[in-house]
Amino acid sequence: MTRCCRQARGAGLPILLLLYIGCGGETNRALFKRYEGPFAAKRQQFNSIAQALPAPGSLQGNTAASLSPKPVYGIKDSGNTEIVMYDQLLNPDIRSEGHNRLDLILSGGLLNAMKWTGPNNPTSPSVLDKKSAPDMETSLNKSLATRYLVVVRPARFDAPVAVSEDSFKGGSADVEVFVADLQDNHVPASGRFTAHSSTNVEYLSKKGEDKRARLEEFAYSSLFTDARQKVGTLLPEITGGQFVLDK
C-alpha cells in the first residue's frame, strides 16, 4: 500500500521554532529583526542563482564534480547543504495548493531562517514575543554559512488525476537537479531524472471523504516518494557527498 506522506505539510516550521524558545533576554521578534539584512541578501542570492540556470528542459545528462569540502545533508551537526525547489529560489515563502506544484519537502535551516526573517513570517505573534533560546542565534549563523545549495527543478510536472474512485491517470515529473556553491554561485554539478507515480495505488478513506481526492493524494504520494528516492541516489553520484534524505 502506498501511504500518504503529505499530511505534515506546513507543520514543521512552527514546531521547529517552538523547540528554540527559551529564557534568554532577547525576543524572537527582535532577533529576527537583527538578521533581516543578511537573509535579505540570501534572497537576492537565490534569485541570482535562479536567473543563471540554463533554460528548463535543456539539461543534457549528468555532470559530476569533485567538490571540497564534500556536500553533507541530513547528518546532524555536520550538514553544509540546503535543498530547495526551484520556485523557492524565486519565492522562499511559496506554498502549495493541492498538487499545483511538486515539492519534495527537503528544505531545512536556511530556508526556514529566510522565512523567519522575511516579510511574511508565518510564526504567530505569541511565539515571536517569547524569549529566544541561546542557540537560536547560533542556528541562524549556521544557516548563513551553508556552503552548497541543491536546486530541484521540475522541467515538467503532471500530477496524477483520478478518473473514477478506483482508477487514475498516472503522474510524472521530468526533474533537473543543480548543485550551486554559495561562495561564488558557481554550479559545478547537475543531473536529470524522471519520476513516476505507481501504476497501482491502494488508498484509505473515511466515510464522507471524497474518494477521488484521496486516490489522487495517494497517487501523488507515490510520485513524491519516487522523486525523493531518485534525488537521494543522484546527489552522491554527481558530488561524492553524503545525503541522508529519509531517516
How do residues 152-168 score in pLDDT, each as one tens digit? 999 999 999 999 988 88
Q: What pLDDT band is residue 247 in, cutting at 50, 70 and 90? A: low
Q: What pLDDT band is residue 119 in, cutting at 50, 70 and 90? A: very high
Report the C-alpha gap between 122 and 157 in whole angstroms: 27
Contact 214, 181 (CB under 8 A): no
Average pLDDT over residues 88-116: 93
Q: Where are the domains of the chain?
A: 12-243
Does the pLDDT value for residue 22 go beyond 60? no
Which residues sit opposite 27 in a β-bridge?
A: 131
How do residues 166-210 score in pLDDT, each as one tens digit? 888 999 999 999 999 999 999 999 999 999 999 888 878 788 888
**pTM listed for this prediction:** 0.86
Count CB neighbours of 175 within 10 A: 25
Q: Given this model, what pLDDT does residue 40 score?
A: 97
Average pLDDT over residues 87-115: 93
Q: Where are the beta strands (DSSP E) in the chain?
A: 72-73, 81-85, 148-158, 161-162, 168-169, 172-181, 186-196, 242-243
Report the C-alpha gap between 55 and 58 in whole angstroms: 6
